[in-house]
Amino acid sequence: MMRRIIAKLLKSSASDNSLNGAKNDDIVSPGKIIWKRFRRNRIAIVGSVVLLVLIVLAILAPVIAPYERDAIELARREQAPSSEHLFGTDRQGRDLFTRVLYGGRISLSVGLVASSLQMVIGVILGCLAGYYGKWIDTIIMRITDMVIAFPFLALAITAAAILGPSIYNTMLIIGLLTWTETCRLVRGQFLSIKQMEYIEAAKATGASEFRIVWRHMLPNAWAPVLISATLIMATAILVEAALSYLGLGVQAPIPSWGNILEPARSMVVLMNMWWLWLPPGFLIFISVLSINLVGDGLRDALDPRLKN
Amino acid sequence: MTEPIVKLENVKKYFPIRGGVFSRVVGNIKAVDDISFSIQKGETLGLVGESGCGKSTLGRTILKLLDPTAGKVFYKDFDIFATQKEELRNLRREMQIIFQDPYSSLNPRLNVGEIVGECLEIHGIAYGREKQEKVESMLEVCGLAPHHRRRYPHEFSGGQRQRIGIARALTLNPDFIVADEPISSLDVSIQAQIVNLMEELQEKFGLTYLFISHDLSMVRHISDHVAVMYLGKIVEISGKKELYQNPLHPYTQALLSAVPVMDPDHKSKRIILRGDVPSPANPPQGCNFNPRCIYAEEHCRNEEPELRDVGSGHQVSCHLVEKM
């Protein structure tokens, strides 16, 4: 009961604030509306803050980390967490706290780069298919169908095995296998935007095709693309972890959250040395969760019709 | 008579109907079927007809926003359908369009200044500060305030949005404007404002309008000449006075009999048309109008009538004009 009342009070004060905000600044751009809606979504804000903290920690890893990333000290191997080694040490005696910090750099940047790569591929192909239609559309959509038809993880593992494990190959594989959704979204958006009269108006003023696509169509199509890009970033982090865990992704001594987990393949480690796998596993969980929360918040803010 | 600024010769626009496994063309929708007329400089040609008769398609085809199937359109001395890309871009400065739906005709992500001023950038006329000033003065001409430049379309009402659309069309200082039902999605009070604005602008800039509408009273108010369209064809075209006082085509007569008259004692003989408009994919044989025409004779079912001049520029496409 008490809770409900507090929630109500919080809600009313929140809406009051947003009203005042509108008065202070009288020009309401589409960007401002989106930001206002996003701000109201508390869960999404929590997600963004967590994500931001993770990113800052990853960027500042060299400053924060108490030890050298790859410093092996065999005398202190497999030690449980202590004041000296916050997360304990691994089988080579390397400080796990340090490695988890550095691992965040790799995991998050694999997610970011892979997601950006799929976005670029998906947007370009989606633009071509949606704008030109006809046979270009047919070819691109059949290619998309083919890529979707492959079992994702099996193909990713096979490709990683053939190309050889490395950070860049991991980014490339994930990017090349996840662009299909973006492509379909952009194509669908373009098909409907093409019918709008402002596109005809742009044509009537003599705008070039590039200008029409870049200035009039893409800005109106980017909302679902951005949403799916965040969700794909979460997927990419998971896939990177899976590949690295299997030894097909990022290779030691470079740490990633996935390959720090690798020792957990042994039953002894899994049962007796929780500090070897719990911190990286938890960080993967937290980062994927917060990215998904941000994605959901973006979806609600960018396209209120999709809510519920 | 002054010289025509726009001249249409046998313009056709067919939309192919595709069907079957290999999506072959199995038929055509004849949205615009063999239309010829001309518009004199500085005057307004009203184009009326019920929805689906091809009015808007014709307007867009004239500006080559749709690819024509056949025919020619001359603007001044330019053959529009034959011009190359660059030349057409330059011609677009002189020919503009105002749209029906003020909601979908403005890009929601751009502010008014960007919407109205974009054409200045495209044609390299003005950038930066100069562009801003031009946009502001054009907004003022169209009855908006200069500071509206920084606002976004969703902050405006339908009538204001239509003014923005008009400002966009006029920024390039065109000579010819296709107004594609510019008032049909607005309130009646706003309709009058917009029509008055268009008339003012016509006087100020010497504009020529092709005014597409299904509102006969509004067309009567604004037009110098009126063309009546039915199923992709012009059935009657004439000076405004002549057409409204002496309509010769049975379709025009039926349309005009449906216009309410502000006189309680007025007893109008309402001509009720039976049946529906036939599909433009499969128009009737002979005269397009014969299945619904109360005067139709055997002759009308077999032979297609031509647009004939019955004196003083009044053209009708009906076999039975002499009997009317």
Give the pLDDT of residue A24.
40
At B279, the pLDDT band (50, 70, 90 cuts) reads confident
Window 179-218 of A, Cβ < 8 Å to B: 196-198, 200-208, 211, 215-216
Q: Tell me if B109 and A30 make a contact (CB, 8 A cut-off).
A: yes
Give the pLDDT of residue B5.
87
Window 158-197 of B, Cβ < 8 Å to A: 165, 168, 172
Sign of the CA dihedral with A247 first, then A251, A256, and A259 last:
positive
Tell me, what CATH number does A204's domain have? 1.10.3720.10
pLDDT, tens only, A246-279: 888 888 788 888 888 888 777 887 778 888 888 8
pLDDT, tens only, A83-136: 777 777 877 778 888 888 888 888 999 999 999 999 999 999 999 999 998 899
Q: How far, rounded to the nearest angstrom, does the alpha carbon of residue A307 sit from its chain's CA centroid?
A: 21
As a whole number, mean pLDDT of residues A147-157 equals 88
- How many domains does the structure of chain A reveal? 1
pLDDT score of B273 more than 90: no
pLDDT score of B60 more than 60: yes
At B268, the pLDDT band (50, 70, 90 cuts) reads low
Domain annotation covers residue A293: yes
| Chain A residue nearest residue B149, CA to CA | A27
Task: Give the lowest-confidence range in A16-25, A40-49, B37-46.
Answer: A16-25
A12 contacts: CB under 8 Å, gap ≥ 6: none
CA separation for the pair B173, B277 (Å, rounded): 39
Q: Tell me if A206 and B92 make a contact (CB, 8 A cut-off).
A: yes
At A40, the pLDDT band (50, 70, 90 cuts) reads confident
Give the pLDDT of residue B324.
65
CA separation for the pair B295, B141 (Å, rounded): 50
Phi–psi pair at B40, nearest 5 degrees: -80, 150
pLDDT, tens only, B216-264: 888 888 899 999 998 888 889 988 888 888 888 888 888 888 887 777 7
Q: Which residue has the tokens 């067309």?
A: B219
- The alpha carbon of residue B146 is apart from the nearest alpha carbon of chain A, in Å, by 14
Domain annotation covers residue A185: yes
Domain annotation covers residue A224: yes
Asked if the ipTM is above 0.95, the reply is: no
CA dist B103 to A197, B114, B154, B160, B161, Å? 9, 16, 8, 11, 7
CA separation for the pair B142, A295 (Å, rounded): 42
Domain annotation covers residue A33: no
Domain annotation covers residue A3: no
In chain A, what residues touch B93 (CB-CB under 8 Å)?
Answer: 206
| Chain B residue nearest residue A198, CA to CA | B105
SS3 letters for A155-204?
HHHHHHHHHCCCHHHHHHHHHHHHHHHHHHHHHHHHHHHCCCHHHHHHHH
pLDDT, tens only, B229-241: 988 888 899 888 8
At A53, the pLDDT band (50, 70, 90 cuts) reads very high
Of A196, A201, A203, the CB nearest to B168: A201
B151 touches chain A (CB under 8 A): yes
Q: Tell me if B152 and A202 make a contact (CB, 8 A cut-off).
A: no
B239 contacts: CB under 8 Å, gap ≥ 6: B224, B225, B226, B312, B313, B314
pLDDT, tens only, B68-101: 888 888 888 888 888 888 888 888 888 899 998 8
- The alpha carbon of residue B221 is apart from the nearest alpha carbon of chain A, in Å, by 27
Q: How many residues are given for chain A?
A: 308
Domain that holds residue A172: 40-70+93-301
| 3-state secondary structure (DSSP) of residue A92 | coil
Of A28, A198, A208, the CB nearest to B105: A198
Domain annotation covers residue A287: yes
Domain annotation covers residue A20: no
Domain annotation covers residue A139: yes
pLDDT score of B1 more than 60: no
Nearest CA to B225 among B204, B207, B211, B213? B211
